[in-house]
Chain A
Amino acid sequence: KAGVTQTPRYLIKTRGQQVTLSCSPISGHRSVSWYQQTPGQGLQFLFEYFSETQRNKGNFPGRFSGRQFSNSRSEMNVSTLELGDSALYLCASSLVRDRVYNEQFFGPGTRLTVL
């Protein structure tokens, strides 16, 4: 079974631009979550989508948004990029058999650099 795939793997943007990242979950996984990983703040939850609906949201500004398509693929968008948005953005999918467990299967991430 193929793992979680993310595109692109690397991205360089300048301040003020916007960016869209893509994620394809493991086949059969209906929940997709996004995380931001930085050296200073560690791994932080951005949002979770399930059946094309945002089910959970972390503590990030409205510049960060996402969506999920009917085939469970997901995209996240960051508008008006700031230097502090430079990070590894990780997508994870899960089976959602039981939300208490919420075991995540991560993709390799997209390394975003904002200049």
Chain B
Amino acid sequence: TQLLEQSPQFLSIQEGENLTVYCNSSSVFSSLQWYRQEPGEGPVLLVTVVTGGEVKKLKRLTFQFGDARKDSSLHITAAQPGDTGLYLCAGPDSSYKLIFGSGTRLLVRP
């Protein structure tokens, strides 16, 4: 069974600080996705990484896929209150079902 573990589970930081969220697995994934979910809403896709070692940037968010395609990280520079939410990583298993990590709940205090 392919599993995705995210760390940390919770993160509370001050506006302007940097942070990194990790998504790890013992299995190889063909791709990994990152979603952000706000209260009362469904998750919103942020990015998909496909190639080992790939780095993608979305404004202040930087996503990296590990060389072995078993892990990924999300780095936020100068966090803002609008970044608050639940960050989820997800990847398709061998039968194309999307598996989600347990999530990182981020709170950015003004």
Choose from A102, A103, A106 the contact partner of B42 (Cβ within 8 Å).
A106
Interface of B is mostly: loop
Pick from A33, A100, A106: contact of B30, CB below 8 A: A100
In which size bucket is the chain A interface? 20 to 34
Q: Is A1 an interface residue (CB 8 A)?
A: no
Q: Tell me the smallest distance from the CB of A110 to a CB of chain B, in Å.
A: 10
Complex Cα distance, B43 from A109, in Å, reads 10
Interface residues on B, range: 20 to 34
CA distance A99 to B48 in the complex (A): 13
- Mark contacts of A100-115 with chain B using CB atoms, 8 A cut-off: 1 yes-contact digit, 0 otherwise: 1111111111000000
B-side residues, CB < 8 A to A, are: 30-31, 33, 35, 40-45, 48, 50, 88, 90, 92, 95-103
